[in-house]
A and B are shown apart, each in its own frame.
Chain A
């Protein structure tokens, strides 16, 4: 199953992420975001980050997840490339992500994402599981 694809947007970046389960959907959305931020090919992971988040509904949980990931990227200077959601409900998640310091990998950086937005955000059920369209402000 494809993890994600980009769709056209004039000024920002549109991402359509897929997943067989909510867990996979969230992992693939995170992967998509970092794939836009940096070149992830061949990157080795030696840092670990843990996440424990709550929100009112699945869409807000998704944005909270992406926001927290972005926040760690900018403030801890870590490029995350592997995501493991250990527990997930409609209103909470626990996860671990693995990455590499930006310091050693400045040349991998591609596009500065300012934030994940709520524009037209809706998690949809599909024949194979789930999909969601997210617009990232760049």
Chain B
């Protein structure tokens, strides 16, 4: 891949500036969060160029941001954050959300310790693998009629909970309570409905996963206690998104938005940065459809957790209440949100794009559950299959990133390169030698997703914590993984 040689000026240990003078059309600077070593990796693809392109969006407020797990996407880089001022003609861009709308993470606690789980680990992983549909185009057993599908898109997690897939408390510990208001089922095409049909409660493939983890380090004892976490405890992490419905919505609206460029006189260097003012009919239509896809994804993760709770009950022969299978939190990391934030002393209505970036609200934020008011919002950060994951918490300093932080390890190697490097190796056996049991249905998934293909999440988290935009609460290590 070509090296990017643009001019980056170091602001401090964790921040780099790409001045707006770099490229004609940039309305503001780019700021990338990284340490020196990571920056060398970041220059290995076009991610920084994309940060510059995003700086051209009409109505952009503050800087065009890159998180430390940044890598080349299309339009926006993965790990890109940008906010536009809705009332000043600011735009919304489907490329700033991604194809997998509301790809995100959910973390469920248990009362079990690593010692209790280990003797039954293989059985647990096998049961999860059997009971949770995964794989390319996976279809599930949760049938939703065409009429109910519209309700699901409007009500998200709330609808599936009302239909027996979980508890009402789960909603409080989900971003947006599991559904963004104002979703418009009419702006979702029949083709998108068709693609999403039968996919509720399915994992999908690629980098989606279900992972059983043990907490191996606590950094903030008080916050960990509030989140219900102790050292040695077992938790379950779920990574999935809006499946075919989301992909189709992005696909269709990306195309529609291309026409908006000439209509609204917007110039962008890349078609995938096509956008429209949030307040335009096209912007509103996309937002209404995006919210549906987001709600679909929350419903999906709610169903996946419900299925997983059933598996734990079966394997450990105890009720979910007895096992303490509570939802800690659920976050989106591919999404655009309309949020009121104070910029330069004035409250503004922003469209915050977080593409491969997670919201990280600070302590005291009204949208957080009462229990998390003192700690700030839990942020769930997955590593690769072989390495650690983290729970972080939001901070006030993150106001500089519109309360956003990284989303995971970020890839550093192409899939074809990973497959080449995996030749002659058994990734599953290498992981098992480390005590991690992996089950996957895709032929090349394990090779494509191998640990070396990813950046080191410890480094990524080190940067966001060092920069003060998140703080470390605890660290987990993988015990068992299901992949599609």
Contacts and interface: CB of A to CB of B under 8 A. Distances in A.
Contact of B442 (A13, A67, A109, A117): A109
A137 B248 CA distance: 12
Interface string B407-438: 00001111111000000000000000000000
Interface string A94-138: 000000001000110111101101111100000000000001011
A112 B411 contact: no
B100 A10 contact: no
B360 to A, nearest CB: 22
B204 interface: yes
Contact of B206 (A8, A37, A112, A115): A112
B377 interface: no
Interface string B187-229: 0000100110100000011100000000000000000000000
Interface string B248-262: 101100110010000
A51 interface: no
Contacts of B36: none
B234 to A, nearest CB: 29
Interface of A: 6, 8-14, 37, 39, 60, 63, 67, 71, 73-75, 77, 102, 106-107, 109-112, 114-115, 117-121, 135, 137-138
Nearest to A117: B74
A114 B99 contact: yes
Category for how many chain B residues contact A: 35 or more
Contacts of B74: 12, 117-119, 135, 137
13 contacts: A8-B414, A9-B1, A11-B72, A11-B411, A13-B416, A71-B195, A102-B137, A111-B136, A111-B448, A112-B135, A117-B99, A118-B74, A118-B254
A119 B416 contact: no
Contacts of A14: 414
Nearest to A75: B194
Contacts of B272: 117-119
B195 A115 contact: no
Nearest to A63: B255
Interface of B: 1, 45, 71-75, 78, 99-100, 135-137, 191, 194-195, 197, 204-206, 244, 247-248, 250-251, 254-255, 258, 270-272, 411-417, 442-445, 448, 484
Contacts of B99: 114-115, 117, 137
A65 B206 CA distance: 23
Given A112-B136, A112-B484, A118-B255, 10 more contacts: A9-B72, A9-B414, A109-B135, A109-B443, A110-B442, A111-B444, A115-B99, A115-B247, A119-B272, A135-B74
A120 B1 CA distance: 15
Contacts of B443: 39, 107, 109-110
B137 A109 contact: yes
A137 B73 CA distance: 9
Given A111-B448, A118-B272, A119-B270, A67 B251 contact: yes
A112 B415 CA distance: 13
A114 B247 CA distance: 6
B270 A112 contact: no
B31 to A, nearest CB: 21
Contacts of A110: 136, 442-444
Nearest to A59: B271
A16 B100 CA distance: 24
Contacts of B258: 118
A77 B1 contact: no
A59 B415 CA distance: 25
A25 to B, nearest CB: 19
Contacts of A10: 1, 45, 71-72, 411-414
